[in-house]
A = this chain, B = another copy of it.
Amino acid sequence: MRTCYTGQVCRDHLGQTVTLFGWVHRRRDHGGVIFIDMRDRAGLAQIVFDPDNEQAFAIAEKLRNEFCVRITGLVRERPEGTVNTDLASGEIEILCREVEILNASVTPPFQLDDENLSETTRLTHRVLDLRRSQMQKNLTLRYRVSIEVRKFLDELGFIDIETPMLTKSTPEGARDYLVPSRVNAGEFFALPQSPQLFKQMLMVAGFDRYYQITKCFRDEDLRADRQPEFTQIDCETSFLNETEIRTIFESMIRHVFRVVQNVDLADPFPIMPYSEAMRLYGSDKPDLRVKLQFTDLSDVMKDVDFKVFSQAAQTPGSRVVALRVPGGVQLSRSDIDSYTKFVGIYGAKGLAWIKVNEIAKGREGLQSPIVKNIHDAALQEMLARTGAQDGDLLFFGADRAKVVNDAIGALRVKIGHSEFGHQNGLFEAGWKPLWVVDFPMFEYDEEAGRYTAAHHPFTSPKDGHEDLLATDPAQALSKAYDMVLNGWEVGGGSVRIHREEVQSKVFRALKIDEQEARLKFGFLLDALQYGAPPHGGIAFGLDRLVTLMTGAESIRDVIAFPKTQRAQCLLTQAPSAVDEKQLKELHIRLRQVELAADKK
């Protein structure tokens, strides 16, 4: 019934009569003629109502913003000087022959092109907000990503198998969303944090290649880039090794970028061991667009008078690093002060710095509050190792490794993304993917006094590291890998353990005793007994990937109906109170006392 989308009408239709459906985006009356910018999901086109066509003109006079209309009219060239090159339809206009109001609209609470709406307004009136061209583009791009992923994986023989949403609660990792069972009184389902165990069982069942684009749930305290429910591109394959698995999935991401963004990503992606990423960038997801690196100086600073350096240099688990900032002498004292404040957020107690004015002058050429407490040999080695040039500034971090990595890592990114960074070539625009590999198997949880799984407890140790599980867990590396893009972890996965005895060793290292392991993961351990194949996989965060691709400010801008940071839907008012009858059927009651206490 419609000739094409409104936003698609163009020179090709010149002289044709077209029928379009859409919304009144804007109306202008000019010289006795009415102009309507008509809108649909493909864009805008200009409709002209001439008073000679009395019937159509009379209806056009009633049109207001957001009225829904059907238009039939003749496509003609716009008069010279009125061509709009921003629009696909910018060279033409449609002389209306017939118009029908399909539905009127009350006056919207805001203009669709208002760029300064609060998030609350946008989420409360989400249906109107979704009419905005940016939101239309974001969700359309999200769709294109998902369908291209499906096409790519289909070609390679991956099949989409649905795993349950009502699953078993395993109080490990993040908090579960629970669902009380009516039929089984006193028992609860959990919404899945990921289909991890199910996809492994599908491999054991012989499906060979699995994928699913599916919702996962974590009841965490929400941050800017978190939602209670999020979407994962979840993949698993059998009989491939780590390199082969990574090759498939970097090809997938390259395919998506090529088709959807018309961008060719690096081929192959660079690969960096976790230890190197931490050494050079203080981060396991370095933004490689930023052309700055750490220089390790712990060995150099052991015996300097500057206590902050020498103490950190001498303490195991601490480190001293320099961050060389080319051109940094331009930074003012107040710039440095604000950076000092910034690293404080990450626990750094200060921010030492040296401006390298003129190396040839020796100490004289260095401007800094700390130089006097660093002896010549150390200064020399520091300059040599950082490769400092005249005009550079060196920032320093000296503290427990975690504080240094977090603080100087964040500083590195901040400087790179700053106006100064852009002007001084410290930032290279574009897409910088990489694989971070060779993650440690375990992290030590100081509070609990035990190791926890760095990835998850089903991750395979690297070849040759199996014995370390018992003898020196801290040194055991895993076959885990993260795909990092412009400083975001967009995907993560691993080769899994497929032998029951290795799985048991890992549980032992994690101090999960046999009874507990059986209770929580018995069905997986059972499955591993029956000739489980070697297998591994990866999961991509679709929301995050699309946020990155669209350049959206928040993942809420790539989700049709997101929750707020208070985990509420402002459109439908979920969550909400429910009938006592419903609770009774579910064998639960509210904790009244506590609720009352909350209200005080």
Contacts and interface: CB of A to CB of B under 8 A. Distances in A.
A66 interface: yes
A161 B560 contact: yes
Interface string A370-395: 00000000000000000000000000
B219 A182 contact: yes
A197 to B, nearest CB: 8
Contacts of A165: 165, 191, 215, 217, 229
Question: Looking at A165, A569, A588, which has the most chain B CB atoms within 10 Å of its CB?
Answer: A588
Interface string A130-145: 1100001001101100
Contacts of A566: 183-184
A574 B167 contact: yes
A347 to B, nearest CB: 27
A103 B166 contact: no
A560 B231 CA distance: 20
Contacts of A595: 185-186, 587
Interface in A334-382: none
Contacts of A139: 159, 161, 207
Given A531-B66, A575-B188, A21 B238 contact: yes
A533 B68 contact: yes
Interface in A578-600: 578-579, 582, 584-591, 594-595, 598
Contacts of A248: none
A239 interface: yes
Contacts of A224: none
Contact of A1 (B66, B204, B244, B571): B244
A563 interface: yes
Contacts of A175: 182, 582, 585
Contacts of A106: 529-530
Interface stretch (A146-154, A399-407, A548-556): A146-154
A104 interface: yes
A53 interface: no
A112 to B, nearest CB: 10
Contacts of A108: 530
A510 interface: no
A193 to B, nearest CB: 13
B103 A162 contact: no
A396 interface: no
B166 A177 contact: yes
Interface in A168-189: 168-169, 171, 175-189
Interface in A88-138: 102-106, 108, 126-128, 130-131, 136
Given A179-B179, A572-B168, A586-B178, A527 B591 contact: no
A147 B191 CA distance: 25
Interface string A24-54: 1000000000000001110000000000000
A229 B169 contact: no
A205 interface: yes
Given A498-B103, A579-B171, A587-B591, A533 B21 contact: yes
Contacts of A181: 567, 575
Interface residues of A, number: 122
A156 interface: no
Nearest to A240: B1
A166 B574 contact: yes
A105 B531 contact: yes
A466 interface: no
Contacts of A430: none
Given A499-B103, A533-B102, A573 B168 contact: yes
A166 B197 CA distance: 23
B162 A559 contact: yes
Contact of A531 (B23, B179, B591): B23
A151 to B, nearest CB: 8
A88 to B, nearest CB: 16
B560 A163 contact: yes
A198 interface: yes
A444 interface: no
A576 interface: yes
A154 to B, nearest CB: 6
Contacts of A413: none
B574 A168 contact: yes
B130 A205 contact: yes
A202 B574 contact: no
Contacts of A105: 529-531
B239 A21 contact: yes
Nearest to A211: B143
Interface of A: 1-2, 5, 21-24, 39-41, 66-68, 70, 102-106, 108, 126-128, 130-131, 136, 139-140, 142-143, 146-147, 150, 154, 159-169, 171, 175-191, 197-198, 201-202, 204-208, 215, 217, 219, 228-229, 231, 238-240, 244, 498-499, 523, 526-527, 529-534, 559-561, 563, 566-569, 571-579, 582, 584-591, 594-595, 598
